[in-house]
Amino acid sequence: MNFSIVIVTYNRKKYLERCLKSIKQQASSKFQFEVIIIFNGEMSYFSSVKREFSEYHSYYIPKTTPSHARNYGVTKCQGDYVFF
């Protein structure tokens, strides 16, 4: 993988779907990337997003600080570069 995109979300389903659709539209075969979605304490739409965007990695963690959620996402990355 060339790069990893870590997205931390809490109670923002509308914006998350828009963000993921935008990433999907901009995907290029020139670059390899992975998307890691961290659901920070929000379980209500975790399974629906995971099903719709199954090509991305999704993880649920109990409600914690945003920095802890980002650090958890970094531990799951396999890319050379990480973007938030």
Enter the tokens of residue 64. 């914690």
Which residues make Cβ contacts (< 8 Å) with residue 9, sequence separation at least 6?
15, 16, 37, 38, 39, 40, 42
| pLDDT beyond 80 at 30 | no
Q: Considering only CA atoms, which of 5, 23, 4 is closest in space to residue 80?
A: 4
pLDDT at 43 > cutoff 60: yes
The per-residue pLDDT for 13 is 76
Mean pLDDT of 20-30: 79
